[in-house]
A and B are shown apart, each in its own frame.
Chain A
Amino acid sequence: MRRLSFLVIVAALALLPVLWPDPYLLSVVAAAGIMIIAAISLNLLLGFTGQLSLGHAAFFGIGAYTSALLSLGFDVDLGFSSPLVVAPKPVWVAFAGGIVMASLFGWLLGKVAFRVRGAYFVIVTISFAQVMRMVALNWVDLTEGPMALVSIPPLSLWVPGEGVVRLVSKASTYWLVLAAGVLAYVIVANLVRSRIGRAAIALRENEVLAKSIGIPVTRCLIVFSVLSAGIAGAAGGLYAHTVRIIDPDVFLFIYTITMVIMVIAGGKGTLAGPVVGGLIFGLLPEMLRGVVAPEVQWMIYGALMILILLFMPKGIVPAFGGLLKRGRISVRRPSATQGASS
Chain B
Amino acid sequence: MLIKPLYAMLLGGALLASQAQADDTIRIGVSQPLTGSVAASGTYVTNGARLAVEHINGKGGVLGKPLELIIEDNKSNPREAVNTAEKLILRDKVPVMMGAWGSTFTLATMPKLEEYGVPMVVETASSSKVTTSGNPWVFRISPTSMMEAQAFAKQLSSFAPAIKKVDFLSVNNDWGLGAAGAFKEVLESKGIEVGRSEIIAPDATDLSAQLAALKNSGSDTIIVTSGVEQLTLAIRQAAEQGIKQRLVTTGGSFPEPLVKNPGPKGYVSTHLLFFSPWTADQSIHPDIARTYMDAWEAKGYPFPGLTEGFRGYDAILTIAEAIRVAGKAEPEAIRDALWKVKLAGVNGDIAFHKEGPEGRESGQNTPNIYIIQLQDGEVSAL
Q: Interface of A with B (CB < 8 Å)?
A: 8-9, 12-13, 15-16, 19, 22-25, 27-28, 31, 137-138, 140, 145-148, 150-151, 168, 239, 243-247, 249, 279, 283, 286-291, 294-295, 298, 332-333, 336
Contact = CB atoms under 8 A, between A and B. Distances in A.
7 smallest CB-CB distances across A and B, nearest first, come from A287-B13, A24-B90, A146-B173, A294-B35, A12-B2, A245-B108, A147-B174
B108 A333 contact: no
Contacts of B174: 145-148
B109 to A, nearest CB: 9
A184 to B, nearest CB: 20
B1 A148 contact: no
The secondary-structure label for the interface of chain A is helix
6 contacts: A31-B83, A146-B104, A148-B107, A243-B79, A245-B104, A287-B12
Interface in B46-88: 72-73, 75, 77-79, 82-83, 86-87
Interface stretch (B3-11, B231-239, B320-328, B335-343): B3-11
B10 A283 contact: yes
Contact of A290 (B5, B18, B176): B18
B178 A147 contact: yes
Contacts of A8: 2
B14 A291 contact: yes
Contacts of A147: 103-104, 127, 129, 174, 177-178
B3 A249 contact: no
Contacts of B82: 243, 245
Nearest to B4: A333
Interface of B: 1-3, 5-6, 9-10, 12-15, 17-18, 34-35, 72-73, 75, 77-79, 82-83, 86-87, 90-91, 103-104, 107-108, 111, 115, 127, 129, 133, 172-174, 176-178
A23 B90 CA distance: 7
Contacts of A151: 133
Given A12-B2, A247-B104, A295-B35, A27 B172 contact: no
B130 to A, nearest CB: 10
Contact of A19 (B3, B12, B78, B87): B3
Contacts of B127: 147
Given A138-B172, A247-B78, A289-B14, A150 B90 contact: no
Contacts of A243: 78-79, 82, 108
B22 to A, nearest CB: 14
A316 B178 CA distance: 48
Given A8-B2, A150-B129, A332-B1, A25 B73 contact: no
A148 B104 CA distance: 7
A294 B75 contact: yes
B68 to A, nearest CB: 13
Nearest to B111: A244
Contacts of A27: 83, 86, 90
A174 B295 CA distance: 46
A148 B86 contact: no
Contacts of A12: 1-3
A146 B107 CA distance: 12
A151 B107 CA distance: 9
A12 B1 CA distance: 9
A140 B174 CA distance: 10
Contacts of A247: 78, 104
Nearest to B71: A290
Nearest to B103: A147
A101 to B, nearest CB: 21
B297 to A, nearest CB: 24
Given A287-B12, A294-B35, 5 more contacts: A24-B87, A146-B172, A243-B78, A283-B13, A333-B2
A15 B7 CA distance: 13
Contacts of A137: 172
A287 B129 contact: no
A284 B206 CA distance: 38
B78 to A, nearest CB: 5
Nearest to A246: B78
Contacts of B103: 147
Contacts of B177: 140, 145-147
A291 B15 CA distance: 10
A294 B34 contact: yes
B40 to A, nearest CB: 13
